[in-house]
Amino acid sequence: MDSKAGFKRIGRWLLPAAVIVLLASCSFRARPGIMKMASLPDGGKICRVAVLPFSNQTRYPLADTIFYRVFVAELLESGSYLVSQEGDVRKIYRQMRVLVGQTPDVEQVRSLAGRLGAQLVITGTVVEMRDKTKYGRKLDPTMGVIVRILDGETGRTLWTTFVRREGKDYRKIMHFGVINTVSALAKRVSQEILAVWFKEGLQKCSE
């Protein structure tokens, strides 16, 4: 990868502009990183999922809410999962006196999953979210998230996934692929995370 990157730097000066754009469109982008502490229950055949409110470690207002709602939408779109309603999750949070944005402990996760009938519990943290601006326009947003899969029965963390992306990572020929909003970037990041999960053994619900 180092030699290829060096070639591209030289190419910016020596090759015609059209060729430079083509090379840029083929640049390497690592897939989301995933750490697997244990296997998924039921051989990865999951249908019932609870997604807990994400936490926000950024200065971007509502970063947690933006990514949470986009992620849930993409999860629902990706398969016939039975995802617990946000209102139901928040109601249990209030009953257990857990603050929104605070990750419940192991026993609380087990209790919550049991009450919601969830095989898996998903939690997440937005560690970076920002928009770059130029002449009053929002350009090239940046996002970094950590998403964890927890076993509903034991409450322990099974998988941890990390990904950081910038809008320009999706640049294609003639800039048609540039992403200019954090919501659009959240959608692509969510899709990438789910794609990795499916590749690593999570199965789409067939119920």
207 domain-assigned: no
Cα distance between residue 97 and residue 207, in whole Å:
34
- 103 with 24, same domain: the answer is no
* Alpha carbon separation from 130 to 13, 34, 122, 126 (Å, rounded): 31, 23, 23, 11
What mean pLDDT is predicted for residues 94-117? 92
- If you ran DSSP here, which 8-state letter would residue 47 be given? -
Q: Is the pLDDT reported for residue 138 higher than 90?
A: no
- 40 with 7, same domain: the answer is no
Task: State the pLDDT at residue 102.
Answer: 82
Residue holding tokens 């770059």?
132
Q: How confident is the model at residue 40 (pLDDT cuts 50, 70, 90)?
A: very high
Least confident of 3-7, 131-135, 138-142: 3-7
Contact 8, 24 (CB under 8 A): yes
- CATH number where 113 lies: 3.40.50.10610
206 domain-assigned: no
What mean pLDDT is predicted for residues 140-155? 95
Q: Is the pLDDT reported for residue 157 higher than 60?
A: yes
Q: How confident is the model at residue 100 (pLDDT cuts 50, 70, 90)?
A: confident
Greater confidence (178 vs 144) lies with 144
- 172 with 114, same domain: the answer is yes
- 65 with 158, same domain: the answer is yes
- 108 with 159, same domain: the answer is yes
Number of domains in the chain: 2
Q: Is the pLDDT reported for residue 171 higher than 90?
A: no
Q: Is the pLDDT reported for residue 7 higher than 60?
A: no
Could you tell me which of 31, 9, 72, 22 has the C-alpha nearest to residue 177? 22
Which structural domain range is residue 118 located in? Answer: 31-200
Q: How confident is the model at residue 5 (pLDDT cuts 50, 70, 90)?
A: very low
What mean pLDDT is predicted for residues 61-68? 95
Contact 74, 194 (CB under 8 A): yes
Task: State the pLDDT at residue 63.
Answer: 96
As a three-state string, the secondary structure of 100-155 is CCCCCCHHHHHHHHHHHCCCEEEEEEEEEEEEEEECCEEEEEEEEEEEEEEECCCC
Greater confidence (140 vs 189) lies with 189
- 97 with 20, same domain: the answer is no
70 domain-assigned: yes
- 6 with 65, same domain: the answer is no
- 111 with 165, same domain: the answer is yes
Q: Is the pLDDT reported for residue 179 higher than 80?
A: yes
- 35 with 92, same domain: the answer is yes
Could you tell me which of 202, 131, 132, 129 has the C-alpha nearest to residue 161? 202
- If you ran DSSP here, which 8-state letter would residue 45 be given? B
Mean pLDDT of the chain: 83
What mean pLDDT is predicted for residues 63-74? 96
140 domain-assigned: yes
150 domain-assigned: yes
- 6 with 106, same domain: the answer is no
- If you ran DSSP here, which 8-state letter would residue 205 be given? P
